[in-house]
Amino acid sequence: MLGVKKNNLNNFLEKISSGYQLFVPAEVEGTTRFTAYQAGVQLALERNTVVPPKELFFPQTEHMYCYKAHKQEAAVEEIAAACEPRVLFGARPCDVQSLAVLDDVFLTKGYEDLFYKNKRENTLVIALGCRKPEPTCFCSSLGVDPSGTELADVMAWDAGEALVFEAKSDKGKKFLEENSAQLEDLAGVTQPTAECTMVLQVEGLTAKLQKMFEHSLWNEICKKCLNCGTCTYLCPTCHCFDIQGKTRGESGVKFRCWDSCMYQEYTLMAGGHNPRPSKKERVRQRFLHKLQYIPERYGKWGCVGCGRCVVKCPVNVDITRIIKQIGEVSLDA
């Protein structure tokens, strides 16, 4: 099996970064996230990043276009520039699955988001299988195999002393061929397997939620939520955004920035009406979106079981506990 010894990994990454814009999981300013590779970067390969790779495809703030206006004349300059060839190295199977969710949202149902599409099409994804999922991981309950994914271009496994690679797409095969001089034949190395320790029952969950819009469980679940939005910002599949503009003199720029269904202003209308006026509606929206609306529309879960919201919610609103609570509801009562 082809691979690279860990003590040679930086040379391998250095070589890739000479031909591509390379993003790697790393320690950055007190957290872990995907960042552009450079010499001396502190790789974070032991566990999944705190910040998911979605910001590489759907940045937190993104210019959409500039404009100039003078009296009755206006000119618009498109900014959705072509993206340089990129490599995303080390995305975990749950985060690769989250890209499949974002693909559905941004590229299907008769609509293509060019900002997302440019980045997605020009990025080769090298997934890294998990060796030991965290206690808060539950991706396997949602159809994701933590040890590997077929949705990446290249699959990498941590086999102790070395990372081993396998192409999963034509693009991935070409990439490994191009970089074969950097790879060694690591005879005798086997692909490690991994399993989540947390197992959730999700069969029939969407159908059950279809009957629970008015259920009193939402009153209970929403009580401690602060509507801080942390869960949505760190979620690899959350994709809501707002569009705003800045004007200076006769020039201006329109940009989009992440928004969150947990914020009161998110659904506030110009006339003052708010269809989600309380925490109950906002918290319900978040869980129905992940577990009912996205499965209904795209045939896959809107949660990939990464556990980030479970770990980072300041008041322990825990989606795994909520899935269990939904499972315990008796609709006949």
**Which residue's CB is nearer to ligand SF4, number 139 or number 186?**
139
Q: Which residues bind ligand SF4 (CB under 6 A)?
A: 225-231, 234-237, 262, 290, 303-309, 313-315, 317, 319
| Shortest Cβ 286–ligand SF4 spacing (Å) | 7
Look-up: residue for tokens 């914020």? 263
Rg (CA), the chain: 22
Give the residue from 289, 292, 295, 291 showing the smallest Cα distance to 276. Answer: 289
**Which residue's CB is nearer to ligand SF4, number 53 or number 172?**
53
| Shortest Cβ 303–ligand SF4 spacing (Å) | 3
| Shortest Cβ 44–ligand SF4 spacing (Å) | 18
**Which residue's CB is nearer to ligand SF4, number 3 or number 302?**
302
**Which residue's CB is nearer to ligand SF4, number 43 or number 231?**
231
| Shortest Cβ 196–ligand SF4 spacing (Å) | 12
| Shortest Cβ 51–ligand SF4 spacing (Å) | 11
- How far is the CA of 207 from the CAs of 96, 173, 178, 202, 332, in angstroms? 26, 40, 48, 10, 14
| Shortest Cβ 257–ligand SF4 spacing (Å) | 17
240 is written with which tokens? 């809501």
**Which residue's CB is nearer to ligand SF4, number 124 or number 235?**
235
**Which residue's CB is nearer to ligand SF4, number 52 or number 172?**
52
**Which residue's CB is nearer to ligand SF4, number 14 or number 318?**
318
| Shortest Cβ 134–ligand SF4 spacing (Å) | 11
